[in-house]
């Protein structure tokens, strides 16, 4: 009887330990600040998604977003203000995609979005809409209104892609978009003065 009770106790402790491990692994996959996927969580999801596209021939696209005007927010208002902006950006991205899509923060001010069932033109249009969604999400901080922009690069997932290739292509497209935005009249980002229509970089 004592042996059976001891075995039952050890089995219960093992189950509790497994549950704690699963919980910790899930937390590692989530960015604690923005509550979207972390880089680790996204890389795991991207690997699964590339395999799914290869197997079933579905269409999907990766959007790589890098914020514009984020450093001045940190420099002028401190990291707490920067954190508030990052949280707002993540929330805006989640609001503007479907439940089946994936949003992640993979760097300091870098986000990625995995979009399902979109062709090239539709993915490009969605990337532009996400840029606008970020710019249209001002953050009130003390007496200032903080605004950032974003450059979005798009890469369609192909049957021969690896996750690393896909990220590299989307990253390169994002940098090309940054250059394009510098060459045209782009929205001012950084800070809007209270009760004024003017924005400054």
What is the phi-psi region of residue 66: left when phi exceeds 0, alpha when psi lies from -120 to 50, beta otherwise?
beta
Q: How many CB atoms lie within 10 A of CB 172?
A: 13
Q: pLDDT tens digit string along 148-188? A: 999 999 999 998 999 999 999 999 999 999 998 887 644 55
CB 176 within 8 A of CB 66: no
CB 191 within 8 A of CB 172: no
Average pLDDT over residues 44-54: 94
Judge whether residue 27 has pLDDT over 70.
no
Query: Active-site residue among 83, 109, 161, 171?
Result: 109
Q: pLDDT tens digit string along 97-145? A: 999 999 999 999 999 999 999 999 999 999 999 999 999 999 999 999 9
Q: Provide the mean pLDDT of the chain.
A: 86
Quick check: is 109 catalytic? yes
pTM for the full predicted model: 0.80
Query: What are the beta bridge partners of residue 63?
Result: 113, 154
């Amino acid at each position: 009887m004592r042996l059976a009770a001891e075995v039952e106790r050890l089995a219960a402790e093992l189950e509790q330990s497994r549950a704690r491990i699963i919980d910790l692994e899930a937390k590692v996959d989530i960015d604690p600040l923005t509550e979207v996927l972390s880089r680790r969580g996204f890389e795991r999801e991207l690997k699964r998604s590339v395999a799914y596209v290869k197997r079933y021939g579905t269409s999907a696209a990766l959007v790589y977003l890098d914020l514009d005007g984020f450093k001045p927010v940190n420099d002028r208002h401190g990291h707490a203000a920067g954190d508030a902006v990052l949280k707002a950006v993540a929330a805006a991205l989640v609001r503007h995609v479907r439940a089946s899509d994936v949003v992640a923060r993979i760097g300091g001010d870098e986000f990625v979005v995995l979009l399902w069932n979109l062709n090239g033109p539709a993915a490009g249009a969605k990337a532009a809409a996400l840029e606008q969604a970020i710019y249209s999400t001002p953050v009130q901080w003390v007496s200032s209104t903080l605004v950032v922009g974003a450059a979005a690069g798009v890469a369609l997932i192909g049957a021969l892609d690896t996750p690393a290739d896909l990220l590299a292509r989307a990253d390169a497209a994002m940098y090309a978009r940054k250059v394009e935005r510098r060459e045209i009249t782009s929205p001012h980002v950084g800070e809007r003065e209270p009760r004024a229509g003017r924005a400054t970089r």
